[in-house]
């Protein structure tokens, strides 16, 4: 991507989109376009076509999606399936129509089978049943991958698909009902410390393992892939190691400075037991993450204190 290339970042207000914009600006890109939800409804094909005929982007980062944690996925299956299908189908078609040079689609590690062999290789896709709590979102994301492959096969459209592991960072959603585990626990531990509560409730058994990638590392990887990856095959983006939810809770407790106890609410779902990505394909291309989990949690907590609380 040259520095004056026309770049459209879909979903720029979200965790991933905002990180991509920060990264692109830091690399000196000066022609980045974004649109808020109020300006363009990405579920509306006519509005999306109109936007693309105005912008005619050379590069598109497709980070717009309906996302959420384990309970939100389970509670709103229609939106997680339907809205994601609409948004991604509209954007892929519109980008193809205006001859976008390169298109990057973002999937998720939940596209892989619930009991995939660990660490999960890219070729595990569609080899087994999905985790029921997020199968709706996963099916939409699998359809997005297939759309990219279909447009490449039929029209020569240069679309690539990256599969990030669980993400966190500044700009995350801290709402306790719809968020992912890491921001939820930061908020719960912070509240417990400030209100001097004797315990923090963590959902599930604490035994599931998750891999966490900072959004700034993801954005760095995505810019790298735009420049160095051209293949219909999906590519994993992760850190290559994981922790149990109980270990994550301990770590967050120590970063926040909370000294009470942790209790597990086993009436809440665990979800997939483990989803550690095999990142050897990306590592071989020459990319590695830079932000450790502890440093990333510290800076995200700082952001939470400065932004959300104020």
- Alpha carbons within 13 A on the beta-carbon side of 250: 7
CB of 146 to ligand GFB, least distance (A): 17
Q: Which is nearer to ligand GFB, 21 or 262 (CB)?
A: 262
The residue from 86, 88, 108, 158 that contacts ligand GFB (CB under 6 A) is 108
Taking contact as CB under 6 A, which single stretch among the options 20-28, 118-126, 198-206, 232-240 is the one that binds ligand GFB?
Answer: 198-206
Q: Which of residues 28-57 bind ligand GFB (CB under 6 A)?
A: none
Q: Is 271 in the site for ligand GFB (CB under 6 A)?
A: yes
| 175 contacts: CB under 8 Å, gap ≥ 6 | none
Q: Which of residues 62-91 bind ligand GFB (CB under 6 A)?
A: 69-70, 73
Q: Is 161 in the site for ligand GFB (CB under 6 A)?
A: no
How far is 280 from 75, CA to CA, in rounded Å? 35
SS (H, E, C) 113-146: CCCCCCCECHHHCCCCCCCHHHHHHHHHHHHHHH
* Residue 240, SS3 per DSSP: coil
Q: Which of residues 205-264 bind ligand GFB (CB under 6 A)?
A: 208, 210, 245
Q: Which of 8, 59, 112, 137 is catalytic?
A: 137
Q: Is 181 in the site for ligand GFB (CB under 6 A)?
A: yes
Residues binding ligand GFB: what is the number (CB under 6 A)?
25
Taking contact as CB under 6 A, which single stretch among the options 18-26, 27-35, 122-130, 266-274 is the one that binds ligand GFB?
Answer: 266-274
Task: Copy the structure tokens of residue 139.
Answer: 């099916």
Residue 137 falls in the annotated catalytic set? yes
Nearest 10 degrees: CA dihedral of 60, 19, 30, 59?
-10
Please report the beta strands in 28-183, taking only residues with DSSP state E, as ranges in sequence order. 32-33, 59-62, 102-106, 159-164, 166-168
Q: Which is nearer to ligand GFB, 40 or 252 (CB)?
A: 252
Task: Copy the structure tokens of residue 163.
Answer: 């599969």
The residues pairing with 235 across neighbouring beta strands, listed in sequence order, are 162
Taking contact as CB under 6 A, which single stretch among the options 50-58, 119-127, 180-188, 224-232 is the one that binds ligand GFB?
Answer: 180-188
Task: Copy the structure tokens of residue 14.
Answer: 């979200």
Q: Please list the active-site residues.
A: 137
Note the residues at the interface with ligand GFB (CB under 6 A). Answer: 69-70, 73, 108-110, 134, 137, 166, 179-181, 184-185, 202-204, 208, 210, 245, 268-272
């Amino acid at each position: 991507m040259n520095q004056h290339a026309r770049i459209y970042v879909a979903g720029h207000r979200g965790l991933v989109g905002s990180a991509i914009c920060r990264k692109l600006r830091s690399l000196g890109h000066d022609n980045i376009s974004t649109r808020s939800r109020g300006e363009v409804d990405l579920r509306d094909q006519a509005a999306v076509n109109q936007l693309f005929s105005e912008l005619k982007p050379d590069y598109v980062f497709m980070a717009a999606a309906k996302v959420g944690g384990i309970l939100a996925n389970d509670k709103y299956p229609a939106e997680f399936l339907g809205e994601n299908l609409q948004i991604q189908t509209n954007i892929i078609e519109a980008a193809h129509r205006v001859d976008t040079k390169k298109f990057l689609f973002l999937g998720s590690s939940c596209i892989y089978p619930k009991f995939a062999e660990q660490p999960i290789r890219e070729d595990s896709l569609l080899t087994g049943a999905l985790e029921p709590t997020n199968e709706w979102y996963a099916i939409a994301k699998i359809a997005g991958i297939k759309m990219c492959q279909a447009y490449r096969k039929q029209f020569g459209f240069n679309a690539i698909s990256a599969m990030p592991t669980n993400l966190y960072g500044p700009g995350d959603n801290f709402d306790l009902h719809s968020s992912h585990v890491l921001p939820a626990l930061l908020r719960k531990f912070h509240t417990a410390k400030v209100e001097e509560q004797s315990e923090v409730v963590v959902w599930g058994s604490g035994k599931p393992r998750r891999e966490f990638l900072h959004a700034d590392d993801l954005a760095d990887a995505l810019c790298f892939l735009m420049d160095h990856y051209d293949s219909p095959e999906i590519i994993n983006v992760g850190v290559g190691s994981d922790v149990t939810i109980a270990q994550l809770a301990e770590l967050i407790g120590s970063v926040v400075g909370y000294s009470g106890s942790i209790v597990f609410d086993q009436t809440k779902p665990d979800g997939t037991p483990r989803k550690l990505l095999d990142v050897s394909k990306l590592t071989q291309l020459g990319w590695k993450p830079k932000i450790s989990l502890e440093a990333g949690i510290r800076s995200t907590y700082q952001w939470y204190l400065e932004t959300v609380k104020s």
